[in-house]
């Protein structure tokens, strides 16, 4: 894994790693937590025909949905009823794509230099055992309603890695992809008046790029002041998720059975 690319080989990933792969010709990336045993826990829009809560994500759902059956792993695709958190085998998660590793604890200079969002954060990761515990607990209890801007697959993986939540749920979530989508047009709008002061297109482009990078940095969970650490067992209470799922205490033996192959 280098500075320009976070691509890694299968032999390099470890349980508790935050991995992602690109979809739709690098249009966006899909994120998950590798829990070992060639299994990944990830978050997708709910597949519930009677619910309209995630209809804004129909395109994403069609691109990120997992196969209805897997010949290699019978438990691939396991999810609780009306939940978007899924256990998939690595092959079904990747869909023939490459593996990329999300970086944690990067210096601000490195974060700003990464033009594309959704690849790293300045926040530090918790130990792998804690990360896997959160992912497996949420597999049993859900992660609320999917929202492409405030509660998506990257938000899920980042919470599993850090335990951090943004207190103001009205703003952009933890996702670097969402920050990039909003930050790029915002930077372009804010830099428009500079065209009157800077005759050079290069100068305007440089300022616009700088504003874009700074807007991404300002929304990173490693530097925001409105984030709190929330135990996974208290997640539903803190966010007011009142869903049909019962909170089931994590059984280490049963969780191990799901990922041990």
Tens of pLDDT, residue by residue over 19-72, are: 999 988 888 899 999 999 999 999 999 765 444 444 444 445 445 555 567 889
b/e burial code for range 71-108 (CB count within 10 A of at least 16 → b): eebeebbbbbeebbbbbbbbbbbbbeeebbbbbbebee
The model's confidence at residue 253, banded by pLDDT at 50, 70 and 90, is: low
Catalytic residue among 30, 76, 92, 213: 30
Model pTM above 0.85: no
Catalytic residue among 6, 31, 42, 133: 42
Q: For this structure, is 30 an active site residue? A: yes
Q: For this structure, is 76 an active site residue? A: no
Catalytic residue among 76, 92, 120, 153: 153
Tens of pLDDT, residue by residue over 64-98, are: 555 567 889 999 999 999 899 999 999 999 999 99
Q: For this structure, is 42 an active site residue? A: yes
Can you tell me which residue has the tokens 């497996």?
136
Q: How many CB atoms neighbour CB 16 within 10 A?
A: 22
């Amino acid at each position: 894994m280098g500075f320009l690319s976070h691509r890694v080989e299968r032999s390099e990933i470890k349980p508790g790693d935050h991995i992602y792969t690109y979809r739709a010709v690098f249009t966006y990336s899909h994120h998950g937590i590798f829990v070992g045993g060639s299994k990944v826990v990830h978050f997708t829009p709910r597949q519930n025909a009677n619910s309209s809560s995630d209809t804004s994500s129909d395109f994403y759902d069609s691109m990120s949905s997992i196969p209805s059956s897997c010949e290699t792993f019978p438990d691939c695709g396991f999810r609780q009823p009306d939940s978007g958190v899924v256990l998939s085998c690595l092959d079904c998660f990747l869909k023939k794509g490459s593996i990329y590793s999300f970086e944690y604890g990067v210096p601000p200079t490195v974060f700003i230099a990464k033009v594309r969002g959704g690849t790293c954060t300045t926040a530090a990761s918790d130990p792998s055992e804690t990360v896997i515990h959160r992912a497996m607990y949420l597999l049993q209890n859900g992660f609320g309603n999917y929202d492409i801007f405030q509660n998506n697959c990257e938000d899920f993986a980042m919470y599993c890695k850090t335990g951090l939540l943004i207190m103001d749920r009205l703003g952009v979530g933890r996702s670097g992809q969402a920050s990039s989508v909003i930050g790029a047009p915002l930077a372009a709008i804010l830099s428009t008046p500079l065209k009157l002061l800077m005759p050079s297109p290069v100068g305007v482009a440089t300022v616009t790029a700088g504003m874009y990078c700074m807007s991404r940095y300002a929304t990173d969970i490693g530097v925001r002041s409105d984030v709190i650490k929330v135990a996974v067992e208290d997640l539903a209470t803190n966010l007011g998720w009142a869903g049909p799922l019962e909170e089931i205490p994590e059984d280490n033996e049963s969780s191990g059975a799901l990922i041990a192959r």
